[in-house]
Structure 1
Amino acid sequence: MSGEGVRERIERSWPELSPVERQIAQLLLDRADDDLAAWTTTELADAAGASKASVSRFVRRLGFGSFAQARTAARSLRARGVPTGGLPATPAGPAALHVEHDTANLVRTADALARVDLQACARLVARARRVLVLGWRNSFPVALHLREQLLQARPDVALGPQPGQTVAEEFADLGPRDAVVLVAFRRRTPHAAAAVRLAHAQAVPLVLFTDPAAGPTAAPVAHRFEVPVDGPGAFDSYAAAMTAAAVLAEGVLAARGSAGRDRVHAVGRAHRDLGELESP
């Protein structure tokens, strides 16, 4: 039960709730805002037309020792990337709230990138014999986007896992002359830590894209980029993550020099010959 969100606890406890407790529960359900971290006891009581004592009884009915414990549990779920609430009401509207939040995340990302050796990382990826880009769950779209950008600058960039694919076949022949780029944002699967350990065992340099809340890695990594992905509402935002991927790809293209420019021109010619893209 400790991993449940408030919504799941409400649904499980609904038959035992009193009429007043159901008022409180319905408020949370109707607002799509089961993140108690957004409320104080007084605010929730006032919004539900209940007393603070009723709110206290309600959270105990859900299995929490106190309202403070419920808020702590909600914060813990949100920190792990679990969708736990909707957007707060704002006169500017939801789009403006997302833009404001993503702008703040981009500023934080720029500060984080300024603290790492981006040029050394770009040189590593540019000069590697082969590059394997990995990402599971929500990290996969970022990994896919990064791989497609890296392919503009250099050949031999693989992506995993593909649908129905295991990644052992991609890993088996990697060594010190290659590189792994692991995209592992929160709500990580155990595969991410296993990839770090295997890369270390095979002496493959590894670049890690993760979020600031991530703990220590299972083994040392060559380069670590911490990019915020928290959103203003229930779901994470990957605007800053996509920007960080673009920054690395730009660095790799620059590090490749004339070889990178030749690659871009060759890809462009192939697009034209295949008729894959619309003409401007």
Structure 2
Amino acid sequence: MESFVTTDTDNPALAGLRERISGAWDELSKSERAVCRVLSATSAERLLYASAAELGTQSGTSNASVVRTLQRLGYSGLSQLKQEVAAPFTSTVAPDVRLKHRLDLIGQDLARIQQEVWEEAASLVELAASANDDDAYSAAINRLVRAETVYCYGLGASGIAAGHLALRLRRTGLATRSLDSDGFRLADEAMSMGVKDALVVFAPGRVTRDINVLLDHASLVGASRILITDELGDRLADRVDATLIAPHTPTGLTSDGLAGILVADVLAQGISAVAPDSALRSSQLLNDLRARLGY
């Protein structure tokens, strides 16, 4: 076993990576060990912006070898490793500092920038697709389709995803309200929530006071509670009825709301599938209103 594997690091995800490599080293092939050498020698900042193809080139293997090696180590792929590596940055490093790191590492090459953005988006889609099984979606859909009104909450990029879900659900025939205020005004928006309603909270990585109050209020009045998150599933498991995973960007290259929007699309399509008559009536009404408005 080679000494690079046990190199100290302040990033717990890299420490975890090196522990996995140490445990699996004797079973790894020559190409997998080459990939592991590169992974262990790469800083957290550089790993966030490295593609599988780049890591393959550096290790003298291929992008497929990188992915296979990570899977041998217990990761779903490079995206999962990046998500774990990014967690300390999002909670402890100021946004302007993260931006400077990103600019320093990617540079001004437009072709490189375009490639990095599309590759990260593809990785997020792949990770989100594998993070939620049919049972998880069914648990959320069953509560949404029975709700008299669905309250969708999120702020910032999460607010975009929450607004998108409210719009898509309204088009399936569900009554929705988008909660896009915070603090004092949020009380006005949430006070009508009742026992026959459902609350959907988009909360990627932080539990704010507003989220705490909304979940407590929904529990108090008996409303269903659905969480769409990246990191808070375990922490909030006992306070919600259903949880779906929507991984957020580990680098800031893509929108934090990207995966949340796609999860919302799955929910809307699922509700259309289980309640097609309502969805059809709503579609016909929407098209009729558009026609009368001249569209």
Normalised to the residue count of structure 1, the TM-score between the two structures is 0.65
214-223 or 92-101, which deviates more: 214-223
Q: Which has the higher contact order (CA 8 A, sep 6+)?
A: 1
Q: Which has the larger radius of gyration?
A: 1
Please name the residue that 1:274 is paired with. 293
Corresponding residue of 2:102: 86
Residues 158, 256 of structure 2: 8 Å contact kept: no
Structure 2 residue identity aligned to 1:89: I
User: Is the 2:183–2:210 contact (alpha carbons within 8 Å) kept by the matching residues of 1?
Assistant: no
Q: What is the distance in 2 between the residues matched to 1:230 and 1:79?
A: 13
Of the three residues 172, 194, 207, the one matched with 1:175 is 194
Give the aligned residue type for 1:247. Answer: V
The letter of the residue matching 2:142 is: R
In proportion to residue count, which structure has more helix?
2
Checking the alignment, whether the CA contact within 8 Å between 1:37 and 1:75 is kept in structure 2 is no
Unmatched 5+ residue regions in structure 2? 1-42, 48-85
- Residue 205 of structure 1: how far off its partner (Å): 0.5
Local SS of the residue matching 1:154:
coil
Describe the shift of the 1:226–1:155 C-alpha distance in structure 2 as closer, same or farther (beyond 3 A).
closer
Once the two structures are overlaid, the 10-residue window that deviates more, 207-216 or 219-228, is 207-216
Q: Which residue of 1 aligns with 2:32?
A: none
Q: Pick closer, same or farther for the CA change 1:107–1:80 going to 2, 3 Å.
A: farther
**Residues 112 and 39 (structure 1), Cα distance of their counterparts in 2 relative to 1, 3 Å cut:** closer
The letter for the 2-side match of 1:156 is: A
1:143 aligns with one of 162, 166, 181 = 162
Structure 1 residues 175, 196: CA separation in 2 closer, same or farther (over 3 Å shift)? same
Are 1:202 and 2:209 an aligned pair? Answer: no
TM-score with structure 2 setting the length = 0.62
**Aligned 1:1-280 pairs, distance under 5 A:** 37-38=44-45, 76-79=88-91, 82-83=94-95, 84=98, 85-87=101-103, 88-89=105-106, 92-114=111-133, 116-162=135-181, 166-212=185-231, 216-217=235-236, 219-233=238-252, 237-275=256-294, 277=295
CA distance in 2, matches of 1:75, 1:143: 23
CA distance in structure 2 between the aligned counterparts of 1:196 and 1:38, rounded to whole angstroms: 35
Aligned-residue RMSD, C-alpha: 3.0
Q: Deviations over 1:77-129 (max 9, x none)?
A: 32568531315338751111111112111111111121643123213212211
Identity %: 22
